[in-house]
């Protein structure tokens, strides 16, 4: 069979999963695959960047080495930025003047950090001023590491997931860190005001200063070498800072799609098969817009990758992507936060259940409509997360007494069906099946089920399951600790 040429633009987390799914479905027999990646080397787990910022080797988060691509006959062209597709001649054009033919092309260009137009943000060369950083790639982390010195000041602009994560790592490296957040509370897209307030108290316990409801109006610094030395706030205050980290959100990277004449809205517009309007051109991941929505976490990107692999290999022609339910978890050591769905009731009939533990700065809230979970947030005590994610994801009925879930009583539904790895939606039952089939370590369990390959926050639970069940030969009991 003559192979078709499949080109993939971008070599991030989405592409990494798409390649796995294609290999699994023998896609390399049907396609000659070429991956273009702007970053150096093989794909890596972007979610674990905080480790690199904290001092770990970049290699420790690499998920595909160059040998992996070779072994599967996939051509990786790294450090190559694609400028546009010629959709008439069907070729991919790169910044360094290369042109390669395709039959099918997939855009997986991800997102880019937003750099708000703040006075003094850019140097005379038009790039970010020296000492100002974004937090998206290994290269960003290595640059930040080089600049971060104990006892120096850092200002993080943005009090969302990424801002808090960066702030904690820099504080752990001994810097004096202040988070400046324009909204009235932290993580305001995932938590209500009380949740954000409780979170701010917990963050403060880690030695990080928090200024909410404040805007950074300008950056100041040494005129001679342009290096930043502080920020001005809108209330007239100044904060000295040897480094400033921008964590003000992301936007889909659509420049290749735009230059190629593809329909673009917030993201590259795709249908349920992840196809764009132009035949043979697909897009998925954070750069794609499906049903008016773009995503900024990995679970939907991986769900899209599976559907796209089915569509491209023709293994399941009916495969369709219908959107994802969102779940987020802050992975800052010692600060437990999980959130899903609505933050507030929307109908008069919606039921709200709240547990507030003032002295422990712990807060839990459920929003229930017609006996189903519409939203949940957990700050300071996330023990019920697995059960809630399962109920939210599948629309399972809530127990008569919802407080039972928050108070860690066994849920009425089967605990084996609880989702342990939320990035990959792997249940306790699936994990136990894999253990029974011979997976006797956390790594083996990850290979068999993909659990633990996302944010990794479930690895403790995986280890617990392995310890509990790995050597047992008798039938496994149903209850699972989580």
Span from 7-15, 355-363, 389-397, 473-481 in contact with ligand FAD (CB under 6 A): 7-15
Cα–Cα distances (Å) from 111 to 60, 77, 190, 288, 296, in that order, read 23, 20, 20, 9, 8
Span from 117-125, 200-208, 294-302, 362-370 in contact with ligand FAD (CB under 6 A): 294-302
CB of 14 to ligand FAD, least distance (A): 3
> If binding is defined by CB under 6 A, does position 162 make contact with ligand FAD?
yes
Q: Which of 380, 454, 457, 393 is nearest to 419 (CA)?
A: 393
Q: Which of 128, 126, 125, 123 is nearest to 140 (CA)?
A: 128
- DSSP letter for 188, please: T
CB of 300 to ligand FAD, least distance (A): 8
> If binding is defined by CB under 6 A, does position 39 make contact with ligand FAD?
yes
Cα–Cα distances (Å) from 82 to 10, 124, 140, 252, in that order, read 9, 27, 20, 16
Check if the beta carbon of residue 198 is closer than 8 Å to that of residue 217: no
> If binding is defined by CB under 6 A, does position 336 make contact with ligand FAD?
no
> If binding is defined by CB under 6 A, does position 297 make contact with ligand FAD?
yes
> If binding is defined by CB under 6 A, does position 190 make contact with ligand FAD?
no
> If binding is defined by CB under 6 A, does position 466 make contact with ligand FAD?
no
Element (H, E) at 392: helix 385-394
> 405 or 423, CB closer to ligand FAD?
423
Q: Which of 328, 265, 261, 276 is nearest to 300 (CA)?
A: 328
> 38 or 336, CB closer to ligand FAD?
38
Binding mask 45-64 for ligand FAD (x = CB under 6 A): -xx-x---------------
CB of 455 to ligand FAD, least distance (A): 4
Chain centre to alpha carbon of residue 103: 30
Label residue 255 exposed, middle or buried (CB < 10 Å: 0-12, 13-18, 19+).
Answer: middle
Binding mask 216-255 for ligand FAD (x = CB under 6 A): -------------------------------------x--
> 13 or 308, CB closer to ligand FAD?
13
> 80 or 466, CB closer to ligand FAD?
80
Judged by CB under 6 A, the residue of 132, 203, 301, 418 near ligand FAD is: 301
Check if the beta carbon of residue 21 is closer than 8 Å to that of residue 305: yes
> 15 or 446, CB closer to ligand FAD?
15
Binding mask 91-130 for ligand FAD (x = CB under 6 A): -----------------xxxx-------------------
Task: List binders of ligand FAD among 401-460 (CB under 6 A).
Answer: 423, 455
Judged by CB under 6 A, the residue of 6, 9, 208, 281 near ligand FAD is: 9
Total residues contacting ligand FAD by CB under 6 A comes to 35
List the end-to-end C-alpha distance of the chain, in Å, as a whole number.
49
> 58 or 399, CB closer to ligand FAD?
58
Label residue 410 exposed, middle or buried (CB < 10 Å: 0-12, 13-18, 19+).
Answer: exposed
Check if the beta carbon of residue 323 is closer than 8 Å to that of residue 295: no
> 187 or 297, CB closer to ligand FAD?
297
Separation of alpha carbons 21 and 74, rounded Å: 13
Tell me the three state secondary structure of residue 126: coil
Element (H, E) at 66: helix 66-71
Q: Tokens in use for 402?
A: 């919802």
Span from 39-47, 122-130, 143-151, 365-373 in contact with ligand FAD (CB under 6 A): 39-47
Cβ count within 10 A of residue 65? 13
What's the per-residue H, E or C state across 350-399? Answer: CEEEEEEEHHHCEEEEEEEECCEEEEEEEECCCCCHHHHHHHHHHCCECC
Judged by CB under 6 A, the residue of 20, 21, 38, 336 near ligand FAD is: 38
List residues binding ligand FAD (CB under 6 A). Answer: 9-15, 36-39, 46-47, 49, 81-82, 108-111, 135-136, 162, 253, 256, 285-286, 296-299, 301, 331, 423, 455
């Amino acid at each position: 069979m003559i192979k078709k040429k499949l080109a993939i633009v971008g070599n991030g987390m989405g592409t990494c999963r798409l390649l796995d799914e294609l290999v699994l479905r023998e896609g390399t027999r049907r396609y000659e695959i070429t991956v273009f990646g702007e970053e150096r080397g093989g794909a890596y787990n972007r979610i674990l960047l905080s480790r690199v910022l904290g001092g770990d080797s970049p290699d420790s988060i690499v998920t595909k080495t160059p040998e992996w691509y070779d072994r599967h006959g996939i051509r990786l062209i790294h450090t190559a930025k694609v400028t546009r597709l010629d959709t008439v001649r069907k070729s991919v054009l790169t910044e360094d003047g290369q042109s390669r033919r395709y039959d099918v092309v997939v855009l997986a260009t991800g997102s880019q950090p937003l750099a708000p137009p703040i006075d003094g943000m850019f140097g005379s060369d038009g790039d970010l001023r020296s000492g100002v950083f974004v937090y998206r790639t290994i290269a960003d982390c290595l640059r930040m590491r080089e600049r971060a010195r104990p006892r120096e000041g850092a200002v993080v602009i943005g009090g969302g997931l990424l801002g808090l994560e960066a702030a904690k790592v820099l504080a752990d490296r001994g810097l004096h860190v202040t988070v400046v957040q324009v909204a009235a509370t932290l993580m305001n897209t995932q938590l209500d005001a009380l949740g954000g307030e409780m979170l701010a108290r917990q963050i403060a316990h880690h030695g990080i200063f928090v200024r909410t409801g404040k805007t950074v109006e300008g950056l100041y610094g040494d005129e001679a070498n342009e290096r930043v030395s502080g920020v001005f706030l809108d209330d007239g205050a100044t904060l000295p800072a040897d480094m400033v980290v921008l964590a003000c959100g992301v936007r889909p990277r659509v420049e290749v799609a735009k230059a190629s004449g593809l329909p673009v809205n917030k993201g590259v517009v795709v249908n349920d098969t992840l196809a764009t309007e132009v035949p043979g051109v697909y897009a998925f991941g954070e750069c794609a817009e499906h049903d008016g929505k773009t995503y900024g976490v990995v679970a939907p990107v991986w769900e899209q990758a599976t559907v796209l692999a089915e569509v491209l290999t023709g293994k399941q022609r009916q495969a369709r992507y219908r959107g994802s339910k969102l779940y987020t978890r802050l992975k800052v050591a010692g600060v437990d936060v999980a959130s899903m769905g609505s933050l507030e009731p929307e109908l008069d009939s919606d039921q709200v259940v709240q547990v507030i533990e003032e002295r422990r700065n712990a807060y839990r809230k459920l929003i229930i409509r017609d006996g189903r979970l519409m939203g949940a947030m957990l700050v300071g005590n996330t023990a019920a997360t697995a059960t809630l994610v399962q109920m939210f994801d599948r629309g399972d009925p809530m127990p008569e007494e919802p407080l039972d879930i928050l108070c860690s009583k066994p849920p009425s539904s089967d605990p084996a069906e609880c989702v342990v790895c939320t990035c990959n939606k792997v249940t306790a039952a699936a994990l136990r099946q894999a253990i029974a089939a011979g997976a006797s370590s956390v790594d083996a369990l990850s290979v068999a089920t993909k659990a633990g390959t996302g944010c990794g926050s479930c690895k403790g639970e995986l280890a617990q399951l392995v310890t509990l069940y790995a050597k047992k030969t008798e039938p496994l009991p149903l209850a699972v600790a989580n």
